[in-house]
Structure 1
């Protein structure tokens, strides 16, 4: 497929789901390559998988977490509020046909739905790993965080600036109000302080 990153992601998928699932993997990777995406792309998926690898020891079912990463933004349209739900349903439709056990399918769908708010329970080891990987970008260095916020704004280019700033600020406020942004010990130690500093700086810029 296309770029080397897409090929790497397809290899990761077939390693997880088996060579007979290659066609499904091609469809998933293609979804992350859709032209309207600026942040929720193959780069985001690859970064998430790398963080999940780092946090794997904290997961109860690492395969379920990796499946959930592939599906969590499989359906992404900026004008809809049900992307996570639609992505979860896609997983529920596709995974049984690949021979994935029903319990794992249910867990994958639960995890995908969890990414709509990033509020895993303290004992939710799989949810903690997945959400930590999804939010790791918040701890990027200055240039990386600027690129992230620019890409998110580009995805919502159709939204007037005043409305975007208000909506984005509400999302960030919701994150800041959580006692901990990150659930796993590794991620909390590695990302928490930098992420909170980035959120505070962006909020100050949005509300000035």
Structure 2
């Protein structure tokens, strides 16, 4: 059964541009995969916290040697890992916050980037363990940061996500950005702004 992991990281709820994009993606994915399964994870309500010394100690303790307390420390991380491994495909809604990814998405990455789980060292070199997966990143940015623009060098979202997921073995990635979303706060028509981005998502599924 094809499985899609759908993750959102915007705190804006219905006002979020990236959530509208992922919703459209999921709707079209379901049409293409009528027998598929969708796992939905809202990172803003998942109780994510920063990793600490206890977490690090538990993560680097062999499974068979962990105490019940250490297993409890890793419980959320293990749940997130199970979702990640079960899915064949991922779609992320990612707004740009201060030129980077939202803090909740970084917290999630810290929970799933675990040695022996999503990456390992083979002959001294890192090797990603999430092979054969596909990731789609649907971004929303207040300004315009596309290649060739004056602000392109300020965009740390796509380079970071491409790097960290590549490290974990996910090299089949796509990025779509709804740039200039700040115009919505200045009275721009929301439907008109979203339409070309929604049509771009629909077109991808029409081709496939």
Report if TM-score (shorter chain) is over 0.5: no
Structure holding more helix per residue: 1
- Asked which structure has the greater CA Rg, the reply is 2
TM-score for the superposition, normalised by structure 1: 0.29
The structure, 1 or 2, with the larger RCO (C-alpha pairs under 8 Å, 6+ apart) is 2
TM-score for the superposition, normalised by structure 2: 0.29
Structure holding more strand per residue: 2
